[in-house]
Amino acid sequence: MSKRAHNFCAGPAALPDAVLQRAQAELLDWQGKGLSVMEMSHRSDDYVAIAEKAEQDLRDLLAIPSHYKVLFLQGGASQQFAEIPLNLLPEGGSADYVDTGIWSKKSIEEARRYGDVQVVASAKDSDYLAIPAQQEWRTTRDAAYLHYASNETIGGLQFDWIPQTGDVPLVVDMSSDILSRPLDVSRFGLIYAGAQKNIGPSGLVVVIVREDLLGRARSHCPTMLNYKIAADNGSMYNTPATFSWYLAGLVFEWLKEQGGVAAMERRNRAKKDLLYGYIDGSGFYANPIAVPDRSWMNVPFRLPDKRLDTPFLAGADARGLLNLKGHRSVGGMRASIYNATGLDAVEALVAYMAEFEKERG
């Protein structure tokens, strides 16, 4: 096989080698049927079996209770920013949102197009370096739902706790940390995740929704954005993103083979401990996020002088350590270390960081 680099891209992100090899092996001739998954009818028995197995494997991995629907939709996580209010925010109602960074802000801006949005807590006061404690949130008792982003992919801030909202349904953007560790799905009304970080190819979005939240869509909600219609049609009201769904299924199978989300948690903990431990000990690199709120998946870090960024990135590229440039709004570096990025990649990164620090520090 050709050489595979260590890919630290925030998204679309690295996929497991084993998944890509399997997709390659099956590309022209899926399981002896003489055609590619891309060329199958989504209504065929073969494809329906692929789709159902993917759903079942995801249900197994996250122990999703039976009164939740799992939807495989299109338009990425960003489509959900509108789809959520269209389905869950009644005319004249209001919804609570928590602002912890750029993705939260985008969801807030979009929801404002559909109704009253209360920003009940914001990390702005800390310059987006810490998640506001729940005691400080000013939640609305009769909110239609409360929305937050469990992991801010750009800022590198992650909740290590689940908000308590009583009877108010909890809605979470889990695009960049779903499947990275075990999760109590029953705490949520709706979980959504764009696929290209921890699930599969971009464009696909997975929605896990409690059944009692279906059937509340506004009358003008487009058919394609109505959760109930999607659920009633097994996410096949129209032609779904068949190949992306299949690939997500291969990732779920791979996750099960690895020991599931408990094994992922152990691996991801070792990866982030190594990287943050090195950064904190170096005196050369820095990560400014409050320690309990540091993301396990996206690790932004800075060098002591911006002029070192370009040589750092060039040296990284030369060693096959790709996509370490931070988001343009944050600057510096960012290493995204999702499930498919192994401890070996983080070890290679830390070795290079030490080498660079020795040369330039």
Ligand X SMILES: *Cc1c(COP(=O)(O)O)cnc(C)c1O
Look at phi and psi of residue 331 and say left if phi exceeds 0, alpha if psi is from -120 to 50, else beta: left
CB closer to ligand X out of 40 and 163: 163
Residue pair 163/107 in contact by the 8 Å Cβ criterion: no
Minimum CB separation of residue 283 from ligand X in Å reads 30
Find the catalytic residue in 30, 57, 69, 197. 197
Q: Closest residue to ligand X, Cβ-based?
A: 76
Distance CA 239, CA 192 (A): 20
Lookup result for tokens 């939709």: 73
Looking at beta carbons only, is 78 or 126 nearer to ligand X? 78
Compare residues 194 and 332 and give the one whose CB is closer to ligand X: 194
Residue closer to ligand X by CB (options 165, 175) is: 175
Q: Name the active-site residue from 96, 99, 173, 177.
A: 173
Which residue ranges make up the site for ligand X (CB under 6 A)? 11, 76-78, 103, 149, 153, 173, 175-176, 194, 197, 202
Query: What minimum distance in Å lies between the beta carbon of 149 and ligand X?
Result: 5
Listed in sequence order, the DSSP H helices in the chain are 17-26, 45-62, 76-88, 102-112, 227-232, 242-257, 260-282, 309-318, 343-360
Closest approach, Cβ 176 to ligand X, in A, equals 4
Q: To the nearest whole angstrom, how small is the minimum distance from the Cβ of residue 137 to ligand X?
A: 20
Question: Please, what sign has the CA dihedral across residues 226, 202, 161, 118?
Answer: negative
Strand partners, 180: none
197 catalytic per annotation = yes
Residue (47 or 271) nearer to ligand X, CB? 271
- Quote the tokens at residue 198: 């921890």
- Helices 260-282 and 45-62 pack at an angle, to 10 degrees, of 60
Pick the catalytic residue from 103, 245, 254, 296: 103
Is 358 an active-site residue?
A: no
CB of 338 to ligand X, least distance (A): 10
Known active-site residue 173: yes
- Residue 336 CA to residue 101 CA, distance in Å, equals 17
Residues identified as active-site: 103, 173, 197
